[in-house]
Amino acid sequence: MIEGDAPVLLNEATKQDLNEVLTPAQIARLFDSFLLDLLRAPEEFRHAVETDEPDLARRSAHRLKGAALCMGADAVATLASLIERAPPGELMSLSSKLIEVAGATRAICRRLLTEDQPEATATGSANRRRRACGHGV
Amino acid sequence: MGSKAVVVDDHPMCRAAAAMAINAVDPEIVVAEASSLAEALEQACDADLLTFDLGLPDSSGVIGLGTLRERFPAASVLVISGVTNPAIERQIERLGARGFLTKAAPISEMVQAIAAVSAGGRWFSNELANFGEDDDFSRLASLTPAQARVLAAMETGRLNKQIAHDLGLSEITVKAHVKAILKKLSTPNRTQAILMLRGTRA
């Protein structure tokens, strides 16, 4: 992440670290699982908010935060952390934001999975990283 | 490293990542997975290593860790959590875990932490050394696992008699636990004790 900027959608350092420790198949498995979570968790969260179940909503956000931290999805993790502490009255507006940020993160993850070129993303300047990984909305 | 590890986390992806990190340390180790404290208690009987997430469907905070440590004192426990709070880390240490790692840590660090803990070492942050002794977190960490369970039951609004029934204890024992809890936490009544517990989660 670049100091002073909004949190990145996908932290390049995390991806690089995964490349150094795990096999491509293992990384793909983690991203597949995370993609599913990025799709389901925001919808679960929204449903919980709409049905006036703030504890369930926060629990959903907490789970998503854990996965996002693990995968270096900084923008989602930051937003989920904010949701965990937010008063019930703010959850609805944060729901729309979560869907938006999760959708953008999904797009980046899918692109990375499709490209699957770790060498190409492991180096480069900060500006290149910003283009490669995108930033939170 | 021993022959069996159990990864306890309610998120499948986080479980998978931890299992991969364990096998990166030792490909031979058998890794079982548990998505709740109840499953962990079933799976962990012959485990040498446990990785444990603090936020489980049936266990929130460090109480589950106390239960796990009490049941399986010989197993090395590495807590892997989304929480980043030195005070909670202190609680974790006092409950006998060998290490603590935030979920934001890179997987290479997770591998290092697992290797260290499995070898009998410790893995805590540097902030822990500078953490004070006299605060709410430290007082809560001083509770025994049984007292922590009683406090958790108190938080749900249960009466002593109901807590006794739930935990399979006599009412007199529960009363003794409540008295000891209030003394350790330096709180005048159970409401203040519950507020202290909730305050540490904020």
Q: Do B106 and A14 touch (CB under 8 A)?
A: yes
Instruction: Check if the beta carbon of residue A94 is closer than 8 Å to that of residue A83.
Output: yes
Which residue carries 């990145």 as its tokens?
A8
- The mean pLDDT value for A69-86 works out to 92
The mean-pLDDT minimum among A129-133, B52-56, B124-128 falls in A129-133
**pLDDT above 90 for B109:** yes
Q: Cβ of B27 under 8 Å from any chain A Cβ? A: no
pTM metric for this prediction:
0.72
Instruction: Check if the beta carbon of residue B3 is closer than 8 Å to that of residue B47.
Output: no
Q: Cβ contacts (< 8 Å) between B81 and chain A: which residues? A: 66
Q: Cβ contacts (< 8 Å) between A27 and chain B: which residues? A: none
Chain A closest CA to B109's CA: distance in Å? 9
Tokens at residue B152, please? 């958790």
- The mean pLDDT value for A87-93 works out to 89
Q: Cβ of B171 under 8 Å from any chain A Cβ? A: no
Q: Which of A13, A62, A70 sits opposite B55 (nearest CB)?
A: A62
Q: Which of A22, A29, A66 sits opposite B11 (nearest CB)?
A: A66
Q: Cβ of A27 under 8 Å from any chain B Cβ? A: no
Q: How far apart are CA B45 and CA B142, in angstroms?
A: 26
Predicted pLDDT at A121? 42
Q: What is the 3-state secondary structure (H, E, C) of A11-29?
A: CHHHHHHHHHHCCHHHHHH
Q: What is the mean pLDDT of chain A?
A: 82
Q: Cβ of A12 under 8 Å from any chain B Cβ? A: no
Q: Which residue has the higher pLDDT, A124 or B76?
A: B76
pLDDT tens profile A103-116: 999 999 998 888 76
Q: Cβ of B115 under 8 Å from any chain A Cβ? A: no
Q: How far apart are CA A20 and CA A17, in angstroms?
A: 5
ipTM above 0.85, yes or no: no
**pLDDT above 90 for A128:** no
Q: Do B11 and A67 touch (CB under 8 A)?
A: yes
Chain A closest CA to B140's CA: distance in Å? 22
Predicted pLDDT at B129? 55
**pLDDT above 50 for A93:** yes
pLDDT tens profile A4-53: 456 789 888 888 899 999 999 999 999 999 999 999 999 999 999 999 99
